[in-house]
Structure 1
Amino acid sequence: MSPLVPLTLFGFIPLVLYLFNRVPTQRAVIVSFVAGYLFLPQPGLAGKFALVSGIPPIEKMSVICYAVLLATILFDSKRLSSFQPGWIDLPMLFWCLSPLAAQMSNDLSPISPTTGQIITWGVPYFLGRIYLNDLAGMRQLAIAIFAGGMVYIPLCLLEMRISPTLHLRVYGYHARLDFAQTMRYGGYRPTVLLEHGLWVGMWMMA
């Protein structure tokens, strides 16, 4: 594992705080999620750091959520009170609490899986509800997704030539153990800094 892994993960938090202090908060949220998703190291076998028992480890998705939520509390706390829960939020609520039943029915602790579900799915959903609830926010999100795809194009072309090893070269380990899944039809399927070529394909299609 490269020293860049903990450096980028833990360094992402002050970077997001700086971003919130410099640009409009709606744009800061979008840039934080898009940049974090595309460029932070994948959890894999090395890209996660457990700090407190029962709390999801620090890894790609959790550090994005922690950073943006902390920045929202510090720089845009009024936005939190703008959330108006409704029936449309029930599916996400049930999804976040679903590990409770599974864990308890198997006599296992539900704390860590449920907390992990909330961090991975509930927090991004909540932030989306309070920041991307108008056409302006959706437009900025679309632009950011497009810009991220444009940045990924030369990286995809590079990996089609040299093989999907950028994650290994940058962070010191493969994002996915099964390297065979990167080979298709006599060539390579780019993964860049994501876990799988399918994730790259879905992003580029968006």
Structure 2
Amino acid sequence: MPNAFAYLMLMIWPVACVVMFRRMGIERAIIWAILGGYLLLPPRAVFDLPLVPDFNKTSIPNLCALACCLWVAKRRVPIWPESRVMKVLLFLFLAGTIPTVLTNTDPILFYSVFDAEPVSFVTGGLPGLRIIDVLSVGSQQAITLIPFVLGRAFLSSQTGQRELLLALLVGGLVYSLPALLEIRLSPQINIWVYGFFQHDFGQMMRQGGFRPIVFLPHGLWMAFFFMTSAAAAAVLFRMADRKSRPRLLAATGYLFCVLILCKSLGPLAYGIAVVPAILLAAPKVQIRIAVVFAGIAVLYPVLRDYGLVPLDRILGWAEAIHPDRAQSLGFRFQNEELLLERAHEKWMFGWGGWGRNLVHDLTTGEIISIPDGEWIIVFGTFGWLGYLSKMGLLAVPLFLLLRHARHDRPTRTVAALALILAITLIDMLVNAILTPYTWLIAGAVLGYTESARRQEAKDDSHLRPKAGRPGLAKPLIG
């Protein structure tokens, strides 16, 4: 159980956000209000109030960042994107919770049947959703979108995107110190500070050592954060002047070494792919790679459903690396099969919350499936409508960016952020790793494409010939 200090940290974070917004520029304040909360606040500690979403390390920073933008910085925060496709996706993401609730008002009961007599007894059950849950679920969706909205509004410029990359770099460098301590001593910091361990300790043991976790939900989240930090350091190195380049190159190498020490194969493979691409490839090439990754992520459920994903070959590759990795991946695939079959029963709007999307023993009600990938959790909970709207909000900005890149030269900052966003979409196929700073990145990419489109329209208007005044004709020559 979290100690009193854990709840005190949640309560004082709004004060910290007000201080940041008064002393920093709005871009930096938004980033650190959200990213700082993600890195520092206690996991699993929550204020659970009736009829409203949980107040935890995700929702509190999101709400505080929005409130400070409105009332401390006194800035207008536009909500609706300019693209029609994005408007539809945003609307479906928020309003799609209504049919999910309305189609799941029936409880799910578990029975014990006796063969000797035609009698069955209810041994347990899951509650049906109430109409009033529309407010709670819809509010949770809206809170989730706050970083996306703020990133689009305030991080679309190269300055804002550079601040985001710099924050990822600084956060990685600072967080590496407790991470290295846990690699050496074992994951203990969350216990020392907040009084509990947030996950299964056995999963933090690997290769005769330990994987760090600090204040994040899992060691995989920690490794993935160091991957994004190394990528941020790499792009800042590419953009730096001659004086700063040696330090940024050293930071890139150092963060990559910490990533290796995290002993997580997936994030390490992403780092091997992303960091060299940032260092060697042109921005347009990076964006093309990002779009390919995004396309794979969005189409994966369809390919998976029709048996077009070569699972045996993927498991063979994992087996060649290490038998334990193949066993872990095979376990995920088996659970995906169970959850996918369950999701098909309510494929359009999903099963809703309360664990209704999971597979249970029909007699005891015991959960017999473990969801890992973000995609199967969203698909089972909100159906195709929820999946397409959520993945669309994250992936469509990359396709819009590709369309812009065909006509103009994109910046290195937006290309690197696009690559980080795309690799996150790939990882969401196997892990529920969608974080608040991922939404910030997606919003920043979308805001950049909208700003570029407005600039293109402005330039075209200057080139377009002006119509003559009525009643006057140009003289003919010849």
Q: TM-score, length-normalised on structure 1?
A: 0.89
Task: Answer yes or no: is the 8 Å Cα contact 2:81–2:87 preserved in 1.
Answer: no
Q: 1:130 aligns with which of 153, 156, 160?
A: 153
Partner-residue secondary structure (3-state), 1:161:
helix
Confirm whether residue 28 of structure 1 aligns to residue 17 of structure 2.
no
Q: 1:59 aligns with which of 26, 39, 56?
A: 56
Match of 2:165 in 1: 142
Match of 1:80 in 2: 77
Task: Answer yes or no: is the 8 Å Cα contact 1:62–1:119 preserved in 2.
Answer: yes
Q: 2:202 aligns with which of 180, 197, 202?
A: 180
Q: 1:112 aligns with which of 111, 136, 142?
A: 136
Distance in 2 (CA, whole Å) between partners of 1:179 and 1:103 is 36
The letter for the 1-side match of 2:151 is G
Higher alpha-carbon deviation: 165-174 or 85-94: 85-94
Match of 1:5 in 2: 6
The letter for the 2-side match of 1:57 is D
The letter for the 1-side match of 2:53 is P
Question: Judging changes above 3 Å, is the alpha-carbon distance between structure 1 residues 81 and 157 closer, same or farther for their aligned structure 2 residues?
Answer: closer
Confirm whether residue 199 of structure 1 aligns to residue 226 of structure 2.
no
Question: Judging changes above 3 Å, is the alpha-carbon distance between structure 1 residues 142 and 148 closer, same or farther for their aligned structure 2 residues?
Answer: same
The letter for the 2-side match of 1:21 is R
CA RMSD in angstroms, aligned pairs only: 1.8
The letter for the 1-side match of 2:38 is Y
Q: TM-score, length-normalised on structure 2?
A: 0.40
The letter for the 1-side match of 2:157 is D
Partner-residue secondary structure (3-state), 1:63:
helix
Distance in 2 (CA, whole Å) between partners of 1:94 and 1:83 is 13
1:143-182 deviation digits (Å, cap 9, x = unpaired): 0001110011121111012211211111011122x22211
Higher alpha-carbon deviation: 12-21 or 105-114: 105-114
The CA deviation at 1:111 is 2.3
Query: What are the residue-to-residue correspondences of 1:86-97 with 2, within 5 Å?
Result: 86-87=83-84, 88-97=86-95
Q: 2:47 aligns with which of 46, 49, 61?
A: 49
Distance in 2 (CA, whole Å) between partners of 1:124 and 1:192 is 23
The CA deviation at 1:31 is 1.4
Partner-residue secondary structure (3-state), 1:49:
coil
Higher alpha-carbon deviation: 108-117 or 9-18: 108-117
Partner-residue secondary structure (3-state), 1:80:
coil
1:65-96 deviation digits (Å, cap 9, x = unpaired): 11111111112333325865433354344334
Question: Judging changes above 3 Å, is the alpha-carbon distance between structure 1 residues 73 and 101 closer, same or farther for their aligned structure 2 residues?
Answer: same
Task: Answer yes or no: is the 8 Å Cα contact 1:83–1:129 preserved in 2.
Answer: no
1:43-73 deviation digits (Å, cap 9, x = unpaired): 2xxx00124x221122101110111111111
Distance in 2 (CA, whole Å) between partners of 1:89 and 1:152 is 37
The CA deviation at 1:99 is 3.2
Distance in 2 (CA, whole Å) between partners of 1:191 and 1:98 is 34
Distance in 1 (CA, whole Å) between partners of 2:9 and 2:75 is 29
Distance in 2 (CA, whole Å) between partners of 1:111 and 1:82 is 19
Larger Rg: 2
1:112-160 deviation digits (Å, cap 9, x = unpaired): 222112212x111111111111111111000000111001112111101
The CA deviation at 1:26 is 1.2
Question: Judging changes above 3 Å, is the alpha-carbon distance between structure 1 residues 92 and 188 closer, same or farther for their aligned structure 2 residues?
Answer: farther
Partner-residue secondary structure (3-state), 2:71:
helix
The letter for the 2-side match of 1:199 is W
1:161-205 deviation digits (Å, cap 9, x = unpaired): 2211211111011122x2221111221111111010111111100
Question: Judging changes above 3 Å, is the alpha-carbon distance between structure 1 residues 98 and 186 closer, same or farther for their aligned structure 2 residues?
Answer: farther
Distance in 2 (CA, whole Å) between partners of 1:110 and 1:157 is 44
How many residue pairs match? The answer is 200
Partner-residue secondary structure (3-state), 1:175:
coil
Higher alpha-carbon deviation: 78-87 or 4-13: 78-87
- Unmatched tracts of structure 2, length 5 or more: 106-128, 229-478
1:10-41 deviation digits (Å, cap 9, x = unpaired): 10001101111111111111111121111111
Match of 2:100 in 1: 102
Task: Answer yes or no: is the 8 Å Cα contact 1:83–1:130 preserved in 2.
Answer: no
Identity of aligned residues (%): 31
